[in-house]
Structure formats: structure tokens, C-alpha cells
Amino acid sequence: MEILFAEISQALAAYLLPFFRISSMLMVMAVFGANTTPARVRLLLSVAITVAVAPVLPPLPEIDLIAFSTVFIIAQQIIVGVAMGFVTLMVMQTFVLTGQIIGMQTSLGFASMIDPSSGQQTPVVGNFFLLLATLIFLAVDGHLLMFKMLVASFETIPISMAGISIKNYWELANWGGYMFGAALTMSLSAIVALLMINLSFGVMTRASPQLNIFSIGFPVTMVSGLFILWLTLSPIMAHFSEVWLSGQLLMCDLLHLQCQIDRSATY
């Protein structure tokens, strides 16, 4: 009976421990981790992926499921999965920040709606950029790349007490600064254009004080903002390619993967 219990415990561990890493990534990552995706769908997808990939994973060491040390092993698997999914969230939030900056500068930030991914009230321009980035993410098979990296991570970070190093946590935190910098870079042209428009209105008001700058400037700024927003959409693919490439490199560092990414590739 003891031999049978050990065999059953090891067989359950071969499926249960990878399930924690896979499900934690799906619960957090972009598109699948949004509030619009039901939790049951994410759970069933996690089970399906676990059943598909568990037989090809490296063999597990002898792990006792009812031991106290197994709690720390499970915690490490959850942390690895959450870290991978969090990278995709930061990639998407880069474009949300871009839309919010442009919306506030163009007076289009007054219109707001509920963000379907987070359930918070955000400007419509930010939601528009989020939906656009989500469609591009799915079009370039970003979700399939995430699953591929996840399966490869079981070889570089095997299921054990070891996990992501402290250095990699620091790199993950520093990528937040890159997120704000990339959002500012994408919206910088719109900021400069609107600054020139506001400067022109200031000169007009100084030259002709009879003009009501509030009745003239607001509609002109809004119409100019729509035109600038239209011009901002043309290089969106190049911006997404650069941000997503940086996100891939970060995940490769987190998972200790030897990634060969073509920087010259364009979508």
C-alpha cells in the first residue's frame, strides 16, 4: 500500500504542480486574465493545457504532496506564472497610458467608460488603444508565444524550491520605468503638436484680446486632437513591435531562456 500511495502521489504531482504555474499565468496575463473572460473558461483552459503538456515535461523529483515543503514549491510555481502574465499586462498598459496622455492633452479625456479588462473607469482614448493593442497581440500570436515560453520554462526553472532570482525581480520592477518611458515616447509627438496649437492661441489672444479664447480654443483643440490621434495610429505597429520585443527579452531573462529574437522583424 505504501508503494501504491507513493506512485499515486508522484503521478498527481506530475499534473498538479505544473497546473499551478500554467493557471497562475492565465489568471493574470493579458486577454485571458481580463474580467471579460469567465473564470471557468480560464480554469478549463488551464486544465486542458496541463493535460496536453504534462507528459512531455521533464521528470519531477520525488515530491511528497502532503509535506509542508510542497507549499513552498507551489508558491514558487505561482510566482513564476504570475511574473510571466504580469509582463504582458505591462505591455498592454503602455498603450493605455499612451491613450490617457493623448486624451488629456486633446481634451478628449472628459469622455470615459469602464475598462473591460480591469473594471475601472478610464478615458475612452485609453480603452481604444488597449483594444487596438489587444487585437495586435492576438494577430501576431503573442498568446501562443507565451504558451511556448511557459512550456520551455519547466526545463530552465524546474519544479523545485528554486524559482526566480532576486536580480530578475529587480529587472521586472525596473521594466515599469520603461513602460512609462515608452508611453511618453509614443505620445510625445501629440504633446508637442498640441503645445504649438496652445501657443498659437496664446499669441492670438495677446494680439487680439477681443477674441474669446475659451469659446474658440476648446473646439479647435478637440478637432485638432482627433486629427493628431489619427496621425498617431500610423506607427502603432512599429511601437507595438518594439514594446513587445522588450517584453519578450524580459521574460527570457526571468525564465533563463536562450531566446533568439530578430530585432529587424516587423509585423
Residue 27, pLDDT > 80, answer yes
Sign of the CA dihedral running 22, 23, 26, 29: negative
Contact 252, 146 (CB under 8 A): no
Q: How confident is the model at residue 152 (pLDDT cuts 50, 70, 90)?
A: confident
Phi, psi of 122 (to 5 degrees): -135, 160
Instruction: Among 107-121, 163-177, 220-234, name the most confident range.
Output: 163-177
How far is Cα 122 from Cα 95, in angstroms, rounded to an integer?
Answer: 13
**What per-residue confidence (pLDDT) applies to 3?**
58
Please name which of 120, 114, 119, 122 lies closest in space to residue 96, comparing C-alpha atoms: 122
Identify the band that residue 106 occupies on the pLDDT scale cut at 50, 70 and 90. Answer: confident
Spatial separation of the C-alpha atoms in residues 176 and 55, rounded to whole Å: 36
pLDDT at 187: 85
Global model pTM greater than 0.85: no
The residue with greater pLDDT, 27 or 104, is 27
pLDDT band of 266, cuts 50, 70, 90: very low
Per-residue confidence band for 38, with pLDDT thresholds at 50, 70 and 90:
confident
Percent of the chain topping pLDDT 90? 0
Q: What is the mean pLDDT of residues 129-139?
A: 88
Residue whose C-alpha is closest to residue 244's, from 89, 64, 69: 89
pLDDT band at 260; cut points 50, 70, 90: low
Least confident of 82-91, 129-138, 192-201: 192-201
More confident residue, 207 or 102: 102
Average confidence (pLDDT) over 30-59: 84
Q: Compute CA distances 104 → 73, 79, 175, 194, 223, whole Å.
A: 45, 36, 24, 11, 14
Q: How far is residue 90's CA from residue 29's CA, in Å, rounded to a whole number?
A: 10
- With 80 as the cut, is the pLDDT of residue 77 above it? yes
Q: Is the pLDDT of residue 1 over 60?
A: no
Span 55-62, average pLDDT: 79
Mean pLDDT value of segment 47-58: 86
